[in-house]
Amino acid sequence: MTTDCSGYGDDFADWRNGLFLCPDGDNADVLVELIRGALDEALSHQGAGPVYPRWEQEDGRSLGGGHLPEGPVASEAVLSQLPRWLAGSVKVHHHMFAKNVVPPPSFVNLAALCAVSLFMPNGVTGEDAAETLTAELSCAQALARLAGYDPDQAGGLFTFGGTATNLYAINVGISKAQPDHAERGIEPGMAVVGSWPAHYSQKSACAWLGIGTRNYISAASLPDQTTDLESMEAACRDVLARGHRLACIMGAGGTTSNMAVDDFGEIAAMRDRLAAEYGLDYTPHVHADTVIGWAYLCFIDYDLHRNPLEFSPPVVAKISRLVERLRTVRHADSFGTDFHKTGFAPYTSSMIIMRDGRDFSRLRRDGGVMTPLFHDKDAYNPGTFTLETSRSAANMVATWVGLQALGKQGMRKLLGHALETAEALRRHVDAVAAGDVTAINKHSYGPDVFLRCYPPDDPAASEEDFSDTSSVRRINQYTSDLFAWLSRQRVPEAEQIALSKTSAAFYTPAGEPVVALRVYSLNPYFSDSHARELVARLLKGKRQFDAIHPDTDVYEGAR
């Protein structure tokens, strides 16, 4: 029996049927039309540049104003506001957008996310989410296989971002080091050892968990941003020699700069050796922070010698180095993934994968203090140990569907394309901008290209001496000033580029951060010709800056 949603004559029914899916789904065309209208509004005003055009308010009033209207506003009217809300935001699908690690989301993922969201399955309880949670289990098994874990022993959870994957890993480590910490609180001196170039979310996780950022110990890094394992061992020894507990050792699994990946076989062996030497009654947790690098696990079984996708020799060399390191992730106790970074999924879609799924039971809460949410004791109820009590199962299904639509070969094509265009960018920098701009991370594992910019006729441009701290700081200042100037300029949309800046592309032997412009494109529409055009536009802007910037003589006099 179906419910007729169109037969009611009263005003409430008409209003309701224009906003909510009726029980038999008969009015789904309303949603489709609204989505079409929203897309038309957004796309018709998106402009020609990589940033959504600013909205000029005719009456000078700000949008919104924070006053909830007394009565309902027509759907078409509120959706017409979208161009104003998008004003100034990035356009990840634009071929001149190359900021941060943000891919365009696939249509399949977006379609599944919308469809499943209509049913509102909450991924904390199997009683409500039912088979949608199978998508979470499928993703976990697939990722476990990619990393070399036993898929029948491993486990995984969707969570709210890369920061959360670190939160879970560290909390499991705390539970290993001090099993009663949830009741008694964390003992003083609990520590985490990571790497100097690691994402700040690792320290943030320590702050949120009550360990404290002072107890996050940073090991030194090597020039390619991999961790100096001698420094990491020394940091671990220092913690243990003071009688403190070492909850977690966090290695680089693809840094946000250079895609540096540590050898987790060596890290795990070091951990085991120290645990035996110090007679620990627990085993410190080893976590691979692979929220970006995880995607390259798809290349582990790619035939690099036959190379069926015909990647260029420089790209094959990069993939080969990545694969060699990523094979060692199987020695880590856990690793993280951000599908919204290198998985072509919309925000937010992340997973924490444990080699031993039973580690999640260390986080299980006392059922007696939980709300009466889990009535079916036989159902899979991840909410008994997740941080979240609300998790979108739509996101789980959409991610799994999206991964299947791409497959390993699709992922290889997209990631390989990003690596190829990064190589093209380097070639065009050398050919067009030599003397003004240099790509300084020539041995990066990934698509990152860091551009160091120099004042006119600067001797550092030919070959910068990174052991000269005063010179490094001078060029740091110039590059920072140039980026700030470029960011303020209002240029025609057809001439815009969207780049970012890194405050530390790498660290010099003296520990000095090296500032650079950062170009990172995961856009499948970014091509060799676009790379050349991007360099040309950057060079044009730089020469304008050099011609009119009033402080150029400061850089001259600092030599």
What does the pLDDT read at residue 1?
Answer: 38
What does the pLDDT read at residue 557?
Answer: 47
Separation of alpha carbons 449 and 284, rounded Å: 35
Residue 78 maps to a domain = no
What does the pLDDT read at residue 95?
Answer: 95
| CA atoms in the 13 A half-sphere facing the CB of 321 | 17
Query: Which residue range forms the structural domain that includes residue 186?
Result: 131-391
**If you ran DSSP here, which 8-state letter would residue 227 be given?**
B
Cβ contact 292:252 at 8 Å: no
Residue 428 maps to a domain = no
Cα distances (Å, whole numbers) of residue 213 to 217, 244, 248, 353, 383: 8, 15, 14, 24, 28
In this prediction, residues 75-92 reach a mean pLDDT of 94
**Structure tokens that stand for 456 in this block:** 């006119």
Residue 535 maps to a domain = no
Cβ contact 108:346 at 8 Å: no
Residue 438 maps to a domain = no
Separation of alpha carbons 103 and 92, rounded Å: 6
User: Is residue 472 predicted with pLDDT exceeding 70?
Assistant: yes
Range of weakest confidence among 124-138, 364-378, 423-437, 497-511: 364-378
What does the pLDDT read at residue 56?
Answer: 66
pLDDT tens string 406-424 = 999 999 999 999 999 999 9
User: What one-character-per-residue DSSP string does 51-79 give?
Assistant: BPPPP--SS-PPS-TT---SS---HHHHH
**Structure tokens that stand for 34 in this block:** 């609204």
User: What one-character-per-residue DSSP string does 464-520 give?
Assistant: --TT-HHHHHHHHHHHHHHHHHHHH----GGG--B-EEES-SSB-TT--B--EEEE-
Q: Please report, for the domain that includes residue 287, its CATH number.
A: 3.40.640.10
Across-strand partners of 122?
A: 392
| Total structural domains within the chain | 1
Residue 501 maps to a domain = no
Q: What percent of the chain is modeled with pLDDT above 70?
A: 92
What does the pLDDT read at residue 504?
Answer: 86
Separation of alpha carbons 170 and 254, rounded Å: 18
In this prediction, residues 286-314 reach a mean pLDDT of 97
**Structure tokens that stand for 12 in this block:** 């409430």
Residue 6 maps to a domain = no
Length of the chain: 559
What does the pLDDT read at residue 380?
Answer: 78
**If you ran DSSP here, which 8-state letter would residue 185 be given?**
-
> Which residue from 105, 78, 88 is spatially nearest to 46, judged by alpha carbons?
88
What does the pLDDT read at residue 4?
Answer: 55
User: Is residue 464 predicted with pLDDT exceeding 90?
Assistant: yes
Pairing of strands 216-219, 191-195: parallel
What does the pLDDT read at residue 366?
Answer: 58
> Which residue from 489, 466, 491 is spatially nearest to 476, judged by alpha carbons?
466
**Structure tokens that stand for 5 in this block:** 């949603």
Instruction: Output the CA torsion 152→323→198→109 (10° steps).
Output: -60
Specify burial of residue 208 (Cβ count, 10 A radius: 0-12, 13-18, 19+): middle
User: Is residue 379 predicted with pLDDT exceeding 90?
Assistant: no
pTM: 0.93
What does the pLDDT read at residue 64?
Answer: 57
Strands of 111-209, DSSP E: 155-159, 191-195
> Which residue from 493, 479, 505 is spatially nearest to 537, judged by alpha carbons?
493
What does the pLDDT read at residue 370?
Answer: 46
Contacts of 74-77 with C-beta under 8 Å, sequence gap 24+, read 75/18, 75/19, 75/34, 76/37
User: Is residue 60 predicted with pLDDT exceeding 60?
Assistant: no
Instruction: Output the CA torsion 459→460→461→463 (10° steps).
Output: 110
What does the pLDDT read at residue 435?
Answer: 92
Separation of alpha carbons 259 and 342, rounded Å: 12
User: Is residue 440 predicted with pLDDT exceeding 50?
Assistant: yes
Give the gyration radius of the chain's Cα atoms.
26
> Which residue from 500, 504, 466 is spatially nearest to 92, judged by alpha carbons?
500
In this prediction, residues 148-162 reach a mean pLDDT of 96
What does the pLDDT read at residue 57?
Answer: 55
Mean pLDDT for the chain overall? 91
pLDDT tens string 309-360 = 999 999 999 999 999 999 999 999 999 999 999 999 999 999 999 999 999 9
Residue 400 maps to a domain = no
Q: Count Cβ atoms below 10 Å from residue 390 Cβ, excluding itself.
A: 10
What does the pLDDT read at residue 2?
Answer: 44
Separation of alpha carbons 336 and 202, rounded Å: 12
What does the pLDDT read at residue 377?
Answer: 59
Residue 342 maps to a domain = yes
Separation of alpha carbons 515 and 281, rounded Å: 44
